[in-house]
Amino acid sequence: MIQHCVFLRFKAAVSDAEKQSLYDGIAALRDDIPGIVDFRYGTNVSPEGLSSGYDDGFIVTFEDAKVRDYYLTHPKHQAVGDRIVSATDGGLSGILVFDMEL
């Protein structure tokens, strides 16, 4: 399995409703991409103060790297990805992606 961890620094003007809409867009991909095992999202709750401003994020769990790679190139993922880039502080520099094999 692959855990695709995405950490976000949203622009200050991004509302909670807009964040929820973005997460809903990612969650909806489960209907189009077989092999998505789980999807979770939320805000950073660590007391360590080491988030470097990446205070929101989500994790998509895939059956394997092949499913993850299909997800990355899927047109609906690219569309919601573009919306996320537009909502983050600095565009792509407001996004941190870390994939882990389980």
**For 35-53, how does the pLDDT look when each residue is reduced to its tens digit (9 = 90+)?**
999 999 999 999 999 999 9
Structural domain range at position 7: 2-101
Q: Give the distance, in angstroms, between the CA of residue 85 and the centroid of all CA atoms in the same chain.
A: 10
Work out how many domains the chain is built from and give that number.
1
Helices (H), 1-102: 16-27, 65-73, 75-87
Q: Mean of the pLDDT values across residues 69-98?
A: 97
Could you give the percent of the chain with pLDDT greater than 70? 100
Tell me what pLDDT residue 66 has: 98
CATH of the domain at 78: 3.30.70.100
23 within 8 A of 60, measured Cβ to Cβ: no
Average of per-residue pLDDT across 17-45 = 97
